[in-house]
Amino acid sequence: MELSEKHQLRELLCELGVAIQQHVITHRVGVSSEQLSQVSAETESDTIYLIDKYSEEALLEWFSKNWPEHLPVEVVAEGLEDHAPVTFPESTPIQDTRFKLIIDPIDGTREIMYDKRSAWVLAGVAPQKFDETRLSDIEAAMMTELPVTKQRLADQISGFRGCGRAGLVAIRHDLESGGSEPFPLYPSAANRIDHGIAGLVKFFPEGKELISRFECDLWKQLGMYGEAKSPVVFDDQYISTGGQMYELMTGHYRFYGDLRPEALRSLGLGHSLTCHPYDVAAGILLKEAGCHYESPWGGEVVAPLDTVTPVSWVCYANSDLAELIRPVLLFKMKEYFSSAQ
């Protein structure tokens, strides 16, 4: 893919993120949390709430009006499965598309519908390989913050494969004044976990006990649990994969991961909610920021660009932390989840 095309795709993703952000902010005015949390539909991948419908409307409207004719694209998103394939310009035959774009219009629905914590728009675009298109093919990505009502500043991070940390575009928008300014991305440079935030996803009852036991065992093996007079590892359960990635890129988390697919398969709960490809659509931004984003088994995070495949991932803020935690994590993965591979 030409560099100029990567730049254009990145800019288009950013425009899309802002359009969804503004649409959600406008349409939630005067609407209660009880209304926003009403269930609109149940899909194979997740529950669709009323607030999700707002973002879906903005998504389709923006593509209809703004997607360039010379970049025909297939769009993959939760809630669009019944209309698949969805292509733009509209009615473009799927075989004529050049790109495949996967998006989560609201990642963190459960946070934002109760006005508790920011949600995120996440999107990534890859050259079209149809059913063979994978997360590892994504060339440009974006994440845009959907803030709570009392918050006037909202961040957006975007970039493309090979741009490096210096090439990532991190912008903080003032939603009241309309102004914006860049902000720095500094993943943690710590070489230890002590007195830092690190953890695994366990915010739903299903699998929580097994994942908690795995995590405690991991910290114990690393000397972080059971001996200190006071806790030295802090947990944070941000119910948004995009939010977790943001915390890693901004230096708030030292390590984070999602092992729900392994845990749920081990427990025979394969239909419970897990991370899906659209949740990690912006995963390449972690790599470009200098973090070590990978499969918990090692290597690339591998999955097709669809809405149903379970995805496991871990991310170490830097190489020192990766060298410290990775060997122990992998040893424990084989001990706890070898049958789940």
pLDDT of amino acid 321? 98
Computed on alpha carbons and rounded to an integer, the radius of gyration of the chain in Å comes to: 20
Encoding tokens for residue 235?
């947990």
pLDDT of amino acid 37? 66
pLDDT of amino acid 36? 65
Indicate the SS3 state at residue 169.
strand
pLDDT of amino acid 338? 75
pLDDT of amino acid 273? 87
Rounded Cα distance between 303 and 341, Å, is: 14
Distance of CA 104 to the CA centre of its chain: 8
Low-confidence ranges of the chain (pLDDT < 70): 36-37, 39-50, 52, 82, 227-228, 339-341
- Taking residue 93's Cβ as centre, other Cβ atoms within 10 Å add up to 9
Q: If one looks up domain 196-340 in CATH, what number appears? A: 3.40.190.80
Encoding tokens for residue 334?
């084989």
Encoding tokens for residue 92?
């473009």
Encoding tokens for residue 55?
């973002």
**Residue limits of CATH 3.40.190.80 in the chain:** 196-340
List all residues 6 or more positions away from 83 whose beta carbon is below 8 Å from its beta carbon.
Answer: none
pLDDT digits (tens, 9 = 90+) for 59-82: 999 999 999 999 999 999 987 876
pLDDT digits (tens, 9 = 90+) for 43-55: 665 666 667 677 7
- Taking residue 29's Cβ as centre, other Cβ atoms within 10 Å add up to 7
pTM summary value: 0.94
CB burial string 49-70: b at 16+ within 10 A, e below: bbbbbbbbebbbebbeeebeee
Is 283:301 a contact under the CB 8 Å cutoff?
yes
**Residue limits of CATH 3.30.540.10 in the chain:** 3-182
CA distances from 306 to 93, 108, 226 (A): 19, 18, 41
CA-closest candidate to residue 194, choices 320, 298, 73: 320
Which element (helix H / strand E) includes 44?
none
pLDDT of amino acid 207? 95
Q: Does domain 3-182 have CATH number 3.40.640.10?
A: no
pLDDT of amino acid 159? 98
